[in-house]
Homo-oligomer: A and B are copies of this chain.
Amino acid sequence: MTQDTRFMPRIARRMAGAQASEIRELLKLAEAPGVISFGGGIPDPALFPVQEMSQALTDVLADPVTGPQALQYSVSEGDPALRAWIAAYLTDSGAPCTADNILVTTGAQQALDFLGRLLIDRGDTVLTQWPTYLGALQAFAPNGPRYGDLGGANWMAQGAGADPTAFAYVVPDFANPTGATMDAVARERLLDLAHARDLPVIEDSPYAALRFEGQPERSLLARDIDRVGRIDASRVIQLGSFSKILSPGLRVGWVAASQEIIGRLVLMKQAADLNASRLTQMAVLRVAERGMTARIDRACQSYRQKRDAMMDALSRHMPEGVTWNRPDGGMFLWLTLPTWADAAAILPRAIEAGVAYVPGAAFYPDRSTANCLRLSYSLPSPEAIETGIARLGAVLAQEKP
């Protein structure tokens, strides 16, 4: 047997195209010393409630009832008290629902995986924003979707061809990757489309609470409940997460939807991993009960400062021909280079100069658009943002058509 002999089984057709993602590879590059990374959409760990989480875990495990419960198998739906808290939180925000409308997932990412498998047959069309969240494209990919563009000229015709349409998928608030927010008109048009074409709408909403300024837009779920009277008749499937407010390392997210959808997803959760850790669910609940508003305010204050630092640095360091948007919240903004530029080709030179970002093409279903890139301002300090944007400006200034 030589050292080169390997055994690799036949891979199922659905997985044949799977490959490592840019974000993943970038997170590795960003670890190199001296590189300032605007790559990953990573919360600032200075905002994590480390003490509160430690106390909550201690309390859960010290209680003779909840201690053993926290370490035992539990129901696939999720911890009942946490589901009730999430339902009350959503009801307060204008989308009346009960614990029966909530499934706890391993971050919102797991909900994307489940919904792709539940709703996409090979060749179905998924309508989405272009660019859109890369993790959604990765989660949906094994199911073989095609993609229609919700931002295209004729919304109502999108995906109305021969292929059935599985659903519309959007990140309506401070989107990953663009930082853009859908206005009320766009939201109502999307719901019009969903009703006209009898489509589910997946509303991926991890950033909505991180609004620095301006008025919150009513969620698609709340708007659809306005239309149809109650969540159990709604077409909207909303995804939420504690990752961006409390901690991504706990991996606690949720789906809010009609009981019929939740019932389907619960069966998938059971087959996928039985149930989420009850210990982390119980601890998240205790920290959330002790006050989410103060935590959200603190995060907004920090991220607004960093956004302002980035806006300021961009205005001083970007060369002619580069444009960007000003997000009202969230973690991202979107940079557009001259049409001849290729952000992926420039990245190695940027990393050499000590700054990293995610090239924009990865966020397009057809990878069609090369002259754009995503910048995240959530992790670096305002000082590092100034330095990193200055480096990026210098690199871009040297690019020629």
Identify the A interface with B (CB < 8 A): 1, 5-15, 18-21, 24, 27, 40, 42-43, 45-46, 48, 50-51, 53-54, 57-58, 61-62, 67-76, 105-107, 109-110, 113, 117-121, 124, 135, 138-139, 141-143, 164, 166-167, 198-200, 228-229, 232-235, 243, 247-251, 258, 260-261, 264, 267-268, 270-280
Contact = CB atoms under 8 A, between A and B. Distances in A.
A228 B4 CA distance: 12
Given A9-B119, A72-B42, A279 B249 contact: yes
A272 B57 contact: no
Nearest to A232: B6
Contact of A71 (B20, B50, B261): B50
A258 B7 CA distance: 8
B233 A250 contact: no
A250 to B, nearest CB: 6
A21 B270 contact: yes
Contacts of A9: 119, 166-167, 199-200, 235, 261
A234 B5 CA distance: 10
Contacts of A58: 54, 57-58
B71 A15 contact: no
B24 A48 contact: no
Given A53-B61, A54-B62, A48 B71 contact: yes
A12 B50 contact: no
A274 B109 contact: yes
Contact of A119 (B12, B20, B21): B12
Given A72-B248, A139-B271, A6 B113 contact: no
Given A50-B68, A258-B7, A106 B273 contact: yes
B71 A53 contact: yes
Chain B CB within 10 Å, residue with most, of A43, A72, A249: A249
Contact of A258 (B6, B113, B120, B275): B6
A290 to B, nearest CB: 16
A209 B275 CA distance: 23
Contacts of A228: 1, 5, 7
A7 B71 contact: no
Chain B CB within 10 Å, residue with most, of A54, A71, A258, A270: A71
Contacts of A43: 72
Nearest to A110: B273
Contacts of A199: 9
B229 A1 contact: yes
A218 B5 CA distance: 24
Instruction: Give me the 6 closest cross-chain CB pairs, A-B, nearest first.
Output: A45-B68, A71-B247, A106-B273, A54-B61, A71-B249, A138-B271
B118 A40 contact: no
Given A232-B6, A233-B5, A271-B141, A40 B119 contact: no
Chain B CB within 10 Å, residue with most, of A1, A76, A273, A274: A273
20 contacts: A6-B232, A10-B166, A12-B117, A12-B119, A12-B120, A18-B267, A18-B268, A27-B75, A42-B73, A48-B72, A50-B68, A54-B62, A54-B67, A58-B58, A73-B243, A74-B249, A109-B272, A109-B273, A113-B273, A249-B278
Contact of A110 (B27, B67, B68, B272): B272
B258 A277 contact: no
A281 to B, nearest CB: 9
Contact of A272 (B71, B74, B113, B248): B113
A279 to B, nearest CB: 5
A104 to B, nearest CB: 12
Contacts of A229: 1
